[in-house]
Structure 1
Amino acid sequence: MPQLSIIVPTYCEAENLKNLIPRISQVLKDSDIVAEIIVVDDNSPDETIAVCQTLAESFPIQLITRKQERGLSTAVIAGIDAAAGEFLLVMDADLSHPPEAIPDLYAALQNQGVDFVIGSRYVNGGSTEENWGWFRKLNSRIATWLARPFTNAKDPMAGFFAISRHHFLKVREILNPVGYKIGLELLVKCRCRNVVEVPIHFADRTLGTSKLSFKEQLSYLRHLKRLAEFKYQNYAYFVQFAIIGLTGVFVNLAALSILLHWLIRPVAIAVAIWISMSTNFLLNRNITFSYARHAPILKQYLTYCGSCLTGAVFNWLTAETLCRSFAYFEQNTLLAAFIGILTGMAFNFILCRYLVFAKQNTVRDEG
């Protein structure tokens, strides 16, 4: 029975595997670690299958070929599902992660109380290839900065990490990563508190091509949205709701400035309000409450209009009550109106969250 399972997701990495697997095997032998190597391939059109079959004659390697699904994160999950080890280690196949660091990550994970171990570029002793371009460095730093609300780890974007099976199984059923950052997904959903970062030298690939693309960067933003909703729940939904509400102000004013050229003022104001309310509905349906975007749209829209009317009523009641009840607010009507806006927004949000876009148990979050 292996102590450690090493999961290597691949797509068109046949040439790199020829170098990687022997290096991993030698490190395991030198460190007296009993481990299995699981290669999860997304049906690469290169020679990955043939290379793995050849390598399996000499090394403890298992190949899983996925023909119906794609993506690094889900490939990692598939590999872990098939793993037999109590400790799980994930690394890339492109030789950017040094196999020689495996014993250090494994040893750190075995320490009592450690939840997660990262092969880190950004702690003391860690480094990246000197010829790494400024754009890649900037991209990495921005992505790391965007992950700050979720973890204090210095390199949370790393694809070289280790976790115990115990921690993984606790969250297996709620994992829904999108894109490449399965490590960040596990860090957040496992609620890892004691994270150890082992310094590594991150090398640039010499064979094959990078899988990073603009599409993957957009996927990362979608992933952050999901993680924010998981960790901060209604706070995250409300921030999105408020931002979209703010955009509605600009839509309203832009529409009004155009409509005044063709319509009388009362009609133009009414139509501008309707346009901004409708755009807010569409944005909230597809962004803030994206889990509900497959529900019947007409019913949602009519209910949304009702919630907006309710929010407007509470807005008016709050401002009017403050002005009538307190001399201070009677002299500061704008402040009373502002509090009324916040009150109306809060009621509108509650109605949207739990009525208009109510989450059904049978609908999986696809935000």
Structure 2
Amino acid sequence: MLQLSIIIPTYCEAENLTVLIPRVNHALTDAGLDAEIIVVDDDSPDGTIQVCKELAENFPLRLITRKKERGLSTAVIAGLDAATGDILLVMDADLSHPPEKIPELVSALNQPQTDFVIGSRYIEGGSTDQSWGWFRKWNSRVATWLSRPFTKASDPLAGFFALKRQSFLKSRQILNPVGYKIGLELIVKSRCQNVTEIPIDFADRVAGTSKLSFKEQLRYLKHLKRLFDFKFQNYAYFLQFALIGLTGVFVNLQMLALLSNWMISPIAVALAIWTSMSTNFLLNRNITFSYAKHAPILKQYLRYCGSCLTGAIFNWLTTMVLSRSFQFFEKRILLAAFIGILVGMGFNFLLCRYLVFSKHKPADETTLTDKELRHTE
């Protein structure tokens, strides 16, 4: 087995590859590293295939061309799947990551306790290109801050990183990244506890155009949501469920204020409750329990209404029992009602999690364990 596999995802990076591959090979030769270079291209129309054929005549380069799938993260996974090295290293093709740092990343990963190595912009000795404006710096820092629940690394969103093959294989069946941040996905799902960072000077791309867009930033938020669900499981689902329940209060009050102006009060109250319950159902179906959003919606909706009714019953029972059975709560009816709300919400959540929006094992995922299936989406 090879010592090292270098995976480079590309789309319209032919001009940069002619500079990058010789630099990578030079760094490998100087360090005495036995390696392969795998370029995973999303069928670029800029002549990448021909450029890679020419480069392969002089360098240990292998090209994988994907014609039906797009995206940096899935391209990286395709490269990791095809790799044969003990160490897997990922870098961008736009010359922003210095190939000369590859030996340092490999050396750091060879330390016994190290699980993951990052070429970092944000530790002492690292830097970003001087052309970065305040908005780009602020945008990067906010994105990094949002990743804090998952890792203490200073630059966990970097695209220049290395991990051991066994760490990748351990998490392969549960990888489902969205967008560009495949490194963070691997840190979390491979459960890498000991992350080492090597300072690098991050340069702006030399040729081509950046693939980062507002759409990719929205995908990053979706990715964070998936990782949040994976790492914290029911705590994450409950928090989302509770926040959506809070939005239902505002929907209820707004609808009641609107309807009470032109219909009798009991009907207005009923319609306001139904509206808030329906909006909560749609939000929970598409956000909190999005893994189940492809199930029949009518069946889910009827079950959701039943779970809401069950929660309301337990809410009422708890409030009545506390206020009538304990002297402490007789004079504190609001506290009893608050506890009743929590109990009712708890029952409602459990019914939604395991009945209304339950997960079903697909026929084509028989190789996954039940625990793994709970973590997929």
The TM-score range, normalised by the shorter chain, is over 0.9
Instruction: Measure, in 1, the Cα distance between the counterparts of 2:17 and 2:47.
Output: 10
Equivalent positions of 1:1-367 (< 5 A) are 1-362=1-362
Instruction: Measure, in 2, the Cα distance between the counterparts of 1:206 and 1:347.
Output: 57
Counterpart of 2:324 in structure 1: which amino acid?
A: R
SS in 1 for 2:33: coil
Instruction: Measure, in 2, the Cα distance between the counterparts of 1:190 and 1:261.
Output: 57
**1:325-349: CA deviation from partner (whole Å, max 9, x where unpaired):** 2222111111111111111000000
Instruction: Name structure 1 gaps, 5 residues minimum.
Output: none
Instruction: Measure, in 2, the Cα distance between the counterparts of 1:185 and 1:298.
Output: 34
Instruction: Measure, in 1, the Cα distance between the counterparts of 2:66 and 2:296.
Output: 34
Structure 1 residue 206, shift from structure 2 partner = 2.0
Q: Is the 8 A contact 1:319 1:336 kept in 2?
A: yes
Runs of 4+ in 1 over 4 A off after TM superposition: 363-367
Counterpart of 2:76 in structure 1: which amino acid?
A: V
Structure 1 residue 261, shift from structure 2 partner = 1.3
Instruction: Measure, in 1, the Cα distance between the counterparts of 2:10 and 2:289.
Output: 34
Q: Is the 8 A contact 1:290 1:366 kept in 2?
A: no
Instruction: Measure, in 2, the Cα distance between the counterparts of 1:335 and 1:16.
Output: 65
Instruction: Measure, in 2, the Cα distance between the counterparts of 1:295 and 1:38.
Output: 39
SS in 1 for 2:106: helix
Matched-pair identity in %: 72
Counterpart of 1:82 in structure 2: which amino acid?
A: A
**1:309-360: CA deviation from partner (whole Å, max 9, x where unpaired):** 0000111111111111222211111111111111100000000000011111
TM-score in terms of structure 2 length = 0.96
Q: How many residues align?
A: 367
SS in 1 for 2:74: helix
SS in 1 for 2:295: coil
Counterpart of 1:126 in structure 2: which amino acid?
A: G
Instruction: Between 357-366 and 158-167, report the one with greater CA deviation.
Output: 357-366
Instruction: Measure, in 2, the Cα distance between the counterparts of 1:133 and 1:39.
Output: 31
Q: Is the 8 A contact 2:90 2:160 kept in 1?
A: yes
Instruction: Name structure 2 gaps, 5 residues minimum.
Output: 366-372
Q: Is the 8 A contact 2:8 2:91 kept in 1?
A: yes
**1:86-119: CA deviation from partner (whole Å, max 9, x where unpaired):** 1000000000000010000000011112100000
Q: Is the 8 A contact 1:121 1:200 kept in 2?
A: yes
Q: Is the 8 A contact 2:256 2:268 kept in 1?
A: yes
Instruction: Measure, in 2, the Cα distance between the counterparts of 1:74 and 1:357.
Output: 27
SS in 2 for 1:54: helix
Instruction: Measure, in 2, the Cα distance between the counterparts of 1:198 and 1:244.
Output: 41
Instruction: Measure, in 2, the Cα distance between the counterparts of 1:361 and 1:221.
Output: 26
Alignment CA distance shift 1:216-1:366 (3 Å): farther
